[in-house]
Amino acid sequence: MMAEMSERTTGWTFVGVQALLLVGLLVIPWPTHVTNPGWLDVAASVCFWAGVALAIAAGFVLGRSLTATPVPLEHATLRTSGPYRWVRHPIYTGVVLI
């Protein structure tokens, strides 16, 4: 029981740190005088939307087993279909692409 509580605490700590880092990305002042080449804007858009699609698809595959922490729920089963066929953590992969 104590090991499970420790895992959950560690999991929520990771989620909290991740949230702070993502908020940090939103509040960092980005330079406005820099212009990107058009191909880079297209590549960034493709990566962003591919990440969104991958994260949403992976969430649907998990269904009721989806949790905010990296610690699986007691009733959860290992998924090996959908994006989990190719990637161990497709939601995290989607977030990295975003």
User: Exposure pattern of 35-72 as b/e (b: 16+ CB <10 Å)?
Assistant: eeeeeeeeeeeeeeeebeebbebbeebbeeeeeeeebe
Question: Is pLDDT above 60 for 1?
Answer: no
What is the per-residue pLDDT across 13-53, written as a single tens digit (0 to 9) for each?
A: 888 998 899 899 889 887 888 888 999 999 999 999 999 99
pLDDT at 3: 60
Given pLDDT bands bounded at 50, 70 and 90, which one contains residue 2? low
Structural domains counted in the chain? 1
Query: Which candidate, 63, 53, 54, places its Cα nearest to that of 88?
Result: 54
Q: Taking the model in full, what pTM does it have?
A: 0.73
Domain that holds residue 21: 2-97
What is the distance of C-alpha 75 from the center of its chain? 22
Q: How many residues does the chain have?
A: 98
Of the candidates 41, 50, 42, the residue with the CA atom closest to the CA atom of residue 87: 50
